[in-house]
A and B are shown apart, each in its own frame.
Chain A
């Protein structure tokens, strides 16, 4: 079975002005979105309030969630504390705007009072047992760790590609990498999906996925340059994209399927991970096809950059 025409010869490089323009626009738009709307950091990053609520009779977690939703506190995390009469509720103060004063500081008493009022409206036997701040301090560290990891990933990949391929490939890969990461973050900022630890892990995994995708195309470019007798860069690049097109899309589909399964059946704990990965797969696939190669062309990749270095002939090595 084959879905894609193996003789496809779509002139992807011909659209390079548009595709690069769109890519740059998306990057700028993403930066703007992240700057203006910001990422919706979860409690691990922002801190919040943690409460323990006691019920006289046993209570269903789902009922507690429903009661909180009804009271407008729909982002709270509700967990059972072992037994059936005690639940832990964690929420971010921004879920309860009434409890935040003008300067953005929040009031623990006010929040817990609000929560307990909402719960008592549904079940009068709810009683607040304890409440505590969960500090955000930890979040700042995580955030910087994530940034360090991302920078390290990008530098490591750049070094590897520089050694295995050539400088231009490393630059093109890193540019598209940054593009993919930014656009993925931009989409997250746009839809205001909660940004928690698993989403951070997912964003970092997107970097891994997208580089994987680009390297396959780059590999084909190198191969075709070496094989071709008369190598017109634009034609070689175009052929490489077309040759690898079916693999690019099939792999995206297969990875997409597993992430879809994770999203629909993996439970809320991995929702963020799966959806971020899905966004990343779409962005990464598109940029492998439309963005990475045009950059290579502009950087002026040519046949002679890619020929294997022959050490046997010193005469050749001396030539410019």
Chain B
């Protein structure tokens, strides 16, 4: 007699099969590889590049497992990460600046497993090594920028409408709006109406008026401010994604955290400096009218005395540090730039960056160059990085702005949409600049508030230890259960083993990133999963003691234990759910593991053991039970 329906046997068999297949990819550890992608202006990846890479590696006697072209990139796999590093250096040297060379962990999973969607769990930073950044978006800056642009717009609006004004200035304190000072009350009325009509995102209110100064206070509406903050972070996320993709990191994690933070995790990257330079920098170009040539008498005089003409700024040329005067007027900024690519100027043989502007930028550039042929135009490179300093014992983040003129040349002929910037120091500099410009501008500067580097060796060490702990914990519990509950213990052991397999399968399928806290969660789940079987076994023992027959004891054991198991697991699940939804980082990873583990253990420790028990005992007459 068996009270276990056939379809349940089938279900158990199916789930076990599913677990084995989808957990399997984790048995194939990925191999260290180097990925080469061509930059925009370099010849695409082909056989020739492959031969070049192979030749370079053979020449230096670096053992490479395989070199092959896959889609638009080339992959070279190595036996271990040390060889991988020297291999990457060699490839970089051999191919030059036209290619991005990045570290990658190449999956080693057989094709048929990949075809049915089975893949191995991605490993977290702590198990693989890599860098972690937490970045704070300076939304104040985005708002200030917006206020500045509104101030410009208001000025031109007043000019267009022929309203005489004294000044339009952004308040010194950020977020305080723009003060428009007019000459008469009537002007103020017309101006107020004009601004309110033209810009619906602005609130206009009359301010104090003294004598002939009539103040109009213009502030950005709160909902627009909120939208600005939101879009600042979205734009930064997008920009970061572009820049990091350009780095060639496989599976980067770029995530918004809270209202103003972005988390970036780059697994496999070991040198944070390079990554930091690229993701943290706010670089933009400004095209401005030049005043004289670099190093001419006026500029030298201004640098010496500090007397700078009111409409000009004094900068220095990148490279040779000659002083140069540049007009304050901005023709076009990096925001109006659509595309940028680096290359070598055919005529001079120096590195260049080709720039394409959007329609608005092209019009301004066209107007300016048409009217100013033969006059100089300067290209200003503005880079902003944040530094943390201690001022009066307080940590203060100070933006450090570097402004250098990278090019100041005479306009030969009018141009608008497309043109090139020359005068860059090296091909590397040109490609870096192109990358920064192409990646788009950050809406607001970002500041790295937390930075961590986890060594690859530590990752391997963690994997080994975690594996050992899981294995040892599992073995001990399996042994203890078999000794304490005999045959029922053995069945529980099978269930526990499959719980691990199915847990790993589900985590792999969902794509949960495995971290060290996740491993701890797995171990804890294994320890607690046996609880359901302890409950069942103790119940069966009780029933036997009360004089029930073996079959009745099994049935009553499972029936009575079920409600307890359900209550206990649901409450536990509530706890795990809270960890998953409220927690961040390590806590979240742990919570997800725990939650999946509770669900899989519910199945394995109840249904799976029941199937085995029924299969063993179901069709036999029993006198005793081994429990």
Interface of A toward B, CB cutoff 8 Å: 1-3, 6, 50, 79-83, 88, 90, 101, 103, 105, 107-108, 132-135, 137-138, 141-142, 145-146, 148-150, 152-153, 156-157, 160-161, 164, 197-198, 200-202, 204-205, 207-209, 211-212, 215-216, 218-220, 223, 243-244, 246-247, 250-251, 253-262, 265-267, 269-270, 273-274, 277
Contacts and interface: CB of A to CB of B under 8 A. Distances in A.
A204 B534 contact: no
Contacts of A219: 563-564, 567-568
A243 B542 contact: yes
B455 A82 contact: yes
B481 interface: yes
Contacts of B480: 253-254, 257
A267 B584 contact: no
Given A50-B451, A138-B134, A208 B583 contact: no
Q: How large is the interface on B (under 10, 10 to 19, 20 to 34, 35 or more residues)?
A: 35 or more
Q: Which 10 A-B pairs have the closest CB atoms?
A: A82-B270, A208-B575, A258-B527, A267-B465, A261-B473, A258-B473, A255-B527, A80-B455, A266-B469, A149-B582
Nearest to A281: B527
Given A258-B476, A261-B472, 7 more contacts: A103-B393, A156-B578, A204-B579, A205-B590, A223-B560, A257-B476, A267-B466
B520 A274 contact: yes
A149 B455 contact: no
Interface centre among A138, A209, A220 (most CB of B within 10 A): A138
B456 interface: yes
A132 B524 CA distance: 36
A257 B473 contact: yes
B271 interface: yes
Interface in B504-530: 516-517, 519-521, 523-524, 526-528, 530
Contacts of A202: 520
Contact of B473 (A135, A204, A215, A262): A262
B130 to A, nearest CB: 10
Q: Is the interface of B mostly helix, strand, loop or mixed?
A: helix
Contacts of A157: 571, 574-575
Interface string B450-474: 1111111110011001101100111
Given A82-B455, A215-B571, A152 B578 contact: yes
Interface of B: 85, 126, 129, 134, 258, 270-272, 388, 390, 393, 395, 449-458, 461-462, 465-466, 468-469, 472-474, 476-477, 480-481, 483-486, 516-517, 519-521, 523-524, 526-528, 530-531, 534-535, 538, 541-542, 545, 560, 563-564, 567-572, 574-579, 582-587, 590-591, 594
Contacts of B578: 149-150, 152-153, 156, 204
Given A50-B451, A103-B393, A255-B528, A160 B574 contact: yes
B587 A80 contact: no
B271 A269 contact: no
What secondary structure prevails in chain A residues at the interface with B? Answer: helix
Contacts of B524: 205, 255, 258-259, 277
A132 B455 contact: no
Contacts of B472: 261, 265
B602 to A, nearest CB: 12
Contact of A149 (B564, B569, B579): B579
A1 B626 CA distance: 10
Contact of A198 (B393, B473, B520): B520
